[in-house]
Amino acid sequence: MSSYNIQSQQLIDDFMTMVRIDSPSKDERAMADWLTARFKELGCEVEEDKAGEEVGGNAGNLRVFLKGNTDVAPLLFSSHMDTVEPANGIEPVIEDGVIRSKGETILGSDDKAGIACILHLARMANGQPDVPRGDLEFSIHICEEIGLLGAKYVDTGKFHAKMGYILDDHDPRQVCIGSPSAVRIDYKVFGKASHAGVEPEKGISAIKVVGEILARMNFGRIDEETTANIGVIKGGTASNIMTPLVEMKAEARSHNPEKLEKQVAHMNACFEEVCKEWRDKLGENLPKYEVDRSDDYHAVSFTTDDYLVKLALSAGKTLGWEMGTKISGGGTDGSVLTHLGIPCVVLGVGMQDVHSTNEYIKISDFEEAANLVASIVENHANGVVV
C-alpha cells in the first residue's frame, strides 16, 4: 500500500468540476485558468507557454513544478486539457459507481481524469509533506485531440525531469509500452466542371475518379502493425454540375517504419495510376491529383527492462495488483515528448468509450489510477522496484 491517503471524494469533486468547464481544442482558456489557480493554491510554481499563439488557440500549455523532499531524479506527469466535441455544457452524473454524461455530450474523462489524478497527487504531496518524493513536474497540454499540437510546442529544455508518464489511457493495470508512427495525408483530385444534364461528356467527375481510386486502395486493418484510413471526403456544389474537385483527408499508422512507407506509397500509387489511366483514355491533362503529407508523430517502444515500465509495474504490485503491458494503436502526447527527449510511458486512468456520447468512467478504476500514481512516486523515492 502507498503511504499517501487517497481522498476519493476530493478526487471525484475535482473531476466533476473540471468536466463542467468547457474546453474544446483551441478554447482551453477557462480550464487553464482554473488549473493555474488550483496548482498555485497547493504551493506549485506554474508557467504558461505560448503554444496557444502558435496554434491559434486562446491558452497555452502549463508547466507546473512542485519541490520534493528527496534527491531522486524528478518525475514528469502529463495530461491534456482539451476535449473532443460535443463538449459544451457537459453535465456529469453518478449512477451505480459510474460517472457519465447526463446529456448529448461526451464526458471529458479523456483527459480530465488524467488531470484529476495529477492534481490529486499535488494535493496529497501538499497535505502529506513527510512522505518521500522527488521533485514533481506536470505538463498539461492544449490541443491534443487535433494532432497533439500543444505537446509539439513544449520546450522540454525547461523541464528538470528527464522521464515521465502520460495519464491518457484506459486500464490502470495495463502499462502501454508501444505506439505507432503516424502520417496525415491530404489529397486533392481535380476533374472538370460541366453541366451534368446538358453536356456531361465535356466534364470529368472528380467523384467518379475518386470512387475508382478507393475501390483499388487497401485501407483499414492492413496487418497486425499497420492501419490506414480515409476519414474525410468532400466535394461538389450541386447535383447538376460535374464535380471538378474532391478533397480527402487520410492517415496511415504502423509500428514498423518500412511498412508505414509501403502503405503510404500504395495509397499514392492508387491516385497516380487511376488519374493516368483516365488521362490516357481521354487524351487530356485531367484528371490530376495533389498530395500533402505531414508526419504526425513517431513510434514509441519500451520493454519491461526499461526503468519507467519496471517502476509502474512495481507500483501496481505494491498495491497488490496483477499488472500487465499492452501495445496501442493510437498516439498520445507521450509520442511527442519521447521524441523530444523525455521518454514517457502511457498509463490508464479508467476512461472508457471515449470520443463518444457513451463515454464513462468507473469510480473504482479512477481511484486505482490515483493510487497507482501515488505508488509510483513513493516507490521511486524509496528505490523500490520489484
Catalytic hit among 27, 137, 144, 365: 144
Number of CB atoms found within 10 A of residue 216's CB: 14
Q: What b/e sequence results for 168-185 when a residue is b if at least 16 CB atoms lie within 10 Å of its CB, and e otherwise?
A: bbbbbbbbbbbbbbbbbb
Q: Check 14, 27, 49, 82 and give the catalytic one.
A: 82
> Cell numbers at residue 215, please?
475501390
- CA–CA separation, 9 vs 161, rounded Å? 30
The span from the CA of 343 to the CA of 336, in Å, is 9
Cell triple for 258: 518500412
Q: 289 pairs with which residues across the strands? A: 189
Phi, psi of 71 (to 5 degrees): -95, 15
What are the cell numbers at 272?
497516380
Contact 161, 78 (CB under 8 A): no
Q: Please say if 137 is a catalytic residue.
A: no
82 included as an active-site residue? yes
Name the residues annotated as catalytic: 82, 144
